[in-house]
A and B are shown apart, each in its own frame.
Chain A
């Protein structure tokens, strides 16, 4: 194992979409216990620098592994199917229609009840897309199909953030 190991190797977990979040959390803390710069504060600057590199790398891997969206995107990339969200925005018409409906509903939302309803709907859509991702990656190894799901998940995530900022505006 070294700094170039992929996230799954670093965490010692199987290279698949389905992951046990509690196991990832525990592994992250175990690794940081070994590598965190605080453990080497009484040693020289060299140990500090190396510890920092490892600690940063462990945090990076943890961020990617614990978030299903980032994890799916990472698996697609490892299998030669980068997401390319910037220049690949072609989405199915039905999906775009739904996005437009959500946006309108968000613009018209008056209070937390409206926002909660939208939140629930977004969460359901997210759950369904993640389930499809799991099937496409772990069962079918359909990387192009999974990358498409990842792109739609990115739309959904952005919308969820917009709901949050709207909540903030309304002071909820």
Chain B
């Protein structure tokens, strides 16, 4: 009698097993994780049944940390070590943070040129990437517990208006948290997926997403499962936190008080938030806080709150106007306005949006959950679980990318609101006789002067053969991938001298830094790194074997017998490596050999796929 095989959880030999993929909304105030279970997207709760995880991390002197509700409760007790809203610090330097003097933290300026600010805590200096990774890891563990299995990968959402440095920082945080990042997608786009699929929406929609720390506006066209972003805009430093700060400033001014100690600063911020939340339902709410030496209580009318924050609401509408202009869409062409983000619960925001578009916004979904739900739907499809799904996201880059030219001016190479992925090339030349090197400075932003844009990276192209000024032809290519991340390469056309970089040195973490942090046991404290490496290598290998086999089954006829034999032997080699002694390096080597050996086949398959798509179209239209 044959024995039944029972595999370890997460290591099932069944190649068609469903892969568990999650969507994570890494928010300024709260974070959530969602997944598609039995065809329905749902947010995963913690052991107490709570879906929202406060994006707060408290570092203790012992080196341990508290994450979420427990940390949030300690904000006034231990303000300097209890870090909230770190999303606003991702990929940023101190001068970027407006009002940082009102925050109770001990900021550590960025080290060297570029770099990111950090925060000094009882457990040492922490970068915003590390803090974010703690939050991501907590959600990862929550999902793993929920499924009692490892997670195949995650889609993480970012504000549409995040620039390259902020996206890169988020990607680094995912790596640090041990997550296989399937895609970064934009929050309003994720919300549109959840909303659009739920309501079978077609036509032009605006997503107005005011979160705790960021504001996005995206204009989308929805047609038969295609979510096409026509234009996006926003402000990555405008959110509910700013409404709290404006309210707190105003109340303190009325009382002729100042909050000076970290405890007072934290108490005032929390009081403002509570007052703001109260004002969504009541006309008047007391602003009350316990300050050193003074218990304050001050009645705030809703109209006062609306007045002191009117400039913030107007700032969001200015971004909406610009996005509509970029989209070349009139306000009246917008068929629906979807409100996303907890801050859209403020009545003055709802009214302003309704007035602007001349229609009531759509609020029949939970503004806190919709982003994570949309991300989980995309994650499920990217993991290959929903082969029948015809969901397609065509997103755009939010901010223009360019190079510094003579005189500190920006030469724009990729314009904002261009559909990604995209690649753009531009030719440059030398300005001195015999010049052999070229310094390239990559910037992002809409302003004409380099000093007004964000510096992303600097690199050099060396070894240009000496020529007369203006004779060299240096082609610089910007490539933006589907995550919205940039890489830049430069090539002298005559000599073929090449240089290229992934744009990350200025703000991102280097691979070494990440490896180092991972070795320190960060976020994966209980994991045995080597065992993990082997598991990951095996998962990658299995994945590639399955993909290759299904490609051969579908399009094997494209290959000559020799080509087929070469691929078969590479597959066999990988199977041997998998069955042999546990050796991550051997499995990885055989995996990359197979990946390399099937590249030409993959290209042929793509050609066939596209030809077939076109042919099918021609048949149906002619």
Contacts and interface: CB of A to CB of B under 8 A. Distances in A.
Nearest to B382: A41
A29 B390 contact: no
Interface in B362-382: 378, 381-382
Contacts of B605: 47
- Overall SS of chain A's interface: helix
A127 to B, nearest CB: 15
Given A37-B481, A38-B392, A44-B547, A60 B423 contact: yes
Contacts of B182: 41
B594 to A, nearest CB: 8
A71 to B, nearest CB: 17
Contact of B392 (A1, A32, A42, A50): A32
B614 A171 contact: no
Interface in B608-622: 609-614, 617-618, 621
Interface in B521-575: 543-544, 547-548, 551
A98 interface: no
Which residue, of A30, A50, A171, has the highest number of chain B Cβ atoms within 10 A? A50
Interface stretch (A51-59, A89-97, A141-149): A51-59
A168 B233 CA distance: 14
A33 B420 CA distance: 14
Contacts of B318: 171
Contact of B482 (A31, A37, A42, A164): A37
A1 B183 contact: no
B479 interface: yes
Interface residues of A, number: 38
A46 B602 contact: yes
A47 B596 CA distance: 10
Given A1-B614, A36-B482, A59 B421 contact: yes
B609 A47 contact: no
B435 interface: no
B384 A29 contact: no
A38 B607 contact: no
B236 interface: no
Nearest to B226: A29
Contacts of A60: 422-423
Contacts of A23: 621
Given A27-B617, A41-B382, A52-B481, A46 B421 contact: no
Interface string B220-243: 000100101000000000000000
A42 B543 contact: yes
Given A30-B617, A46-B596, A52-B482, A41 B610 contact: no
A12 B422 contact: no
A34 B183 contact: no
Contact of B618 (A12, A34, A51, A167): A12
Contacts of B378: 38
Interface string A159-172: 00000100110011
Contact of B607 (A1, A31, A43): A1
Nearest to B597: A46
A61 B243 CA distance: 44
A118 interface: no
A52 B525 CA distance: 36
B381 A38 contact: yes
A30 B228 CA distance: 13
B544 A44 contact: yes
A73 interface: no
A1 B383 CA distance: 29
Contact of A2 (B599, B607, B613): B607
Interface in B313-349: 318, 321-322, 325
Interface in A58-98: 59-60, 62-63
Contact of B322 (A12, A34, A59, A168): A168
Contacts of A36: 392, 394, 482
Contacts of A51: 606
A12 B614 contact: yes
Which residue, of A37, A38, A44, A59, has the highest number of chain B Cβ atoms within 10 A? A44
B7 to A, nearest CB: 20
B382 to A, nearest CB: 4
A43 B606 CA distance: 13
22 contacts: A1-B607, A27-B614, A30-B614, A30-B617, A33-B390, A33-B392, A33-B613, A34-B610, A35-B610, A36-B392, A38-B183, A38-B381, A38-B392, A41-B183, A43-B543, A43-B544, A43-B551, A44-B602, A46-B596, A50-B599, A59-B421, A63-B419
